[in-house]
Amino acid sequence: MLEHLSYAMEIVTKIFSQISALLGIQWAPMDIPMSRRLQTLAAFVWIYLILFGEALSIYLFIQLVYSRFWWMGILYGVWFLNDIEICSRGGRASEWVRNWTWWRYLCDYFPIKLVKTVELDPSKNYMFACFPHGVISLGAFGSFCTNATGFHKLFPGMTCHLITLGGHFLVPFFRDLALALGICSSSEQSLLHLLDNKKYEGNCACMIIGGAAEALDAHPKEYKVILSRRKGFIRVAMKSGAALVPVFSFGETDLFRPPNNPENSLLRRFQEKVRQYTGISPMFPMGRGLFQCSYGVLPMRAPVTTVVGAPMEVKRNLEPTNEEINAVHAEFTERLKTLFETEKVKYLQYHEEAKLVIT
């Protein structure tokens, strides 16, 4: 009986191996440390939270309102409406949430590292202009929304706030996690509030300049960023007097393998149309799976190094002209190019072929 069972198992194993080879599936090894399993689990939970968290939050809120605990949903809704402007008034960061062990496992999965090139004065406020967006900006998230990469140790006395679209703060429950991570709205009102030296010192507004449009060009080993037509952040920096800091996440575009979508292709036109109406780019985050390394939506295990460059001092100007904005924009563009060319040798194995394309 045992011999027959063993023979049957051998046949099944061979068939399974042949199917895997035919489909090109590379299975993850079984004998890996528990720490790596937890890292993969952290990445798995986070990517699904990003993809489906808002829809799930809305569903749970509706279920709460129509349950026997409806009164809790009503109370939350009243508080929600009263609290709706907090994302434009400095947010509500929680150091307890930013210190969750989960974030350390998530950052160690790649790993994500934060590097500073110069000291920053904690008595001043800064506008961190971050590039590239990538598919879901994991480098910026790990570095500026959590304490897992040691932001407070590298920049003592400073507080960072990642900036995102205000629409995310209209989603019940999901907004509360975003606020706890220090994330704030991308409105000019919100940015000027964060960078007001009369209210705060040591604030860093971390803005991913290319936004959703730049995500459409996130392909491995390619660094195509949108900057030429992005000048609103320059205006905000000039109005507030905050120094501009170029920030670049090397390896950000290597985490996924999205389908090819050249300009004017059917897929690209579809993505652009959806982004036009929703502000969100419909991405197809093709990476690896939970138990195999060939197919799935988990990001690949590729290192991401977020480098914070030297600050560019900006003279405060409440009513900057277009010429003045263009001059500051041109200088910042050159500083970003310099940061990329100087640092890519240290953090990209393919640095010789890596080119920064600015559109």
**pLDDT by residue (tens digit) across 186-243?**
999 999 999 998 899 999 999 999 988 898 888 899 999 999 999 999 999 999 999 9
CB 85 within 8 A of CB 170: no
Residue 306 has pLDDT above 70, yes or no: yes
Give me the pLDDT at residue 288, please.
78
- pLDDT greater than 90 at residue 312: yes
Would the pLDDT of 343 be above 70?
Answer: yes
**pLDDT at residue 299, as a whole number:** 93
Q: Is the pLDDT of residue 331 over 70?
A: yes
Average pLDDT over residues 32-50: 92
Give the pTM. 0.89
The neighbouring-strand residues paired with 205 are: 127, 161
- pLDDT of 16 strictly over 50: no
How high is the mean pLDDT of the chain? 89
Structure confidence at residue 119 (pLDDT): 95
Q: Average of pLDDT values for 289-313?
A: 88
Q: What pLDDT was estimated at residue 2?
A: 47
pLDDT given for residue 316 in this prediction: 94
In this model, does residue 60 exceed pLDDT 80? yes
Reduced to 3 states (helix: H, G, I; strand: E, B; else coil), residue 191 is helix
Is the pLDDT assigned to residue 275 strictly greater than 80? no
Mean pLDDT, rounded, for 29-34: 79
Residue 26: its pLDDT value, please? 66
% of the chain with per-residue pLDDT over 70 = 90
Residue 59 CA to residue 7 CA, distance in Å, equals 49
pLDDT at 13: 45
pLDDT for residue 283: 72
Reported as a single tens digit per residue, the pLDDT across 232-274 is 999 999 999 999 999 999 999 999 988 777 787 887 788 777 7
User: Looking at domain 27-358, which CATH architecture does it have?
Assistant: 3-Layer(aba) Sandwich (3.40)
Q: Which helix (H) or strand (E) holds 184?
A: strand 184-185
Q: How far apart are CA 265 and CA 296, in angstroms?
A: 24
pLDDT surpasses 80 at 281? no
Q: What is the pLDDT of residues 121-169, one digit of tens each?
A: 999 999 999 999 998 899 999 999 999 999 999 999 999 999 999 999 9
Cα(299)–Cα(61) distance, integer angstroms: 29
Lowest model confidence (mean pLDDT) among 4-18, 127-141, 339-353: 4-18
Paired sense of beta strands 304-308 and 243-250, if any: antiparallel
60 versus 258: the higher-pLDDT residue is: 60
For the chain, the first-to-last Cα distance in angstroms comes to: 69
What crossing angle do the helices spanning 101-109 and 34-65 adopt, rounded to 10°? Answer: 120
Say how far apart CA 187 and CA 205 lie, in whole Å. Answer: 12
pLDDT for res 24 = 54
The answer to whether the beta carbons of residues 90 and 192 sit under 8 Å apart is no
List, in order, residues 6 or more apart from 288 with CB less than 8 Å away.
294, 295, 296, 298, 299, 300, 301
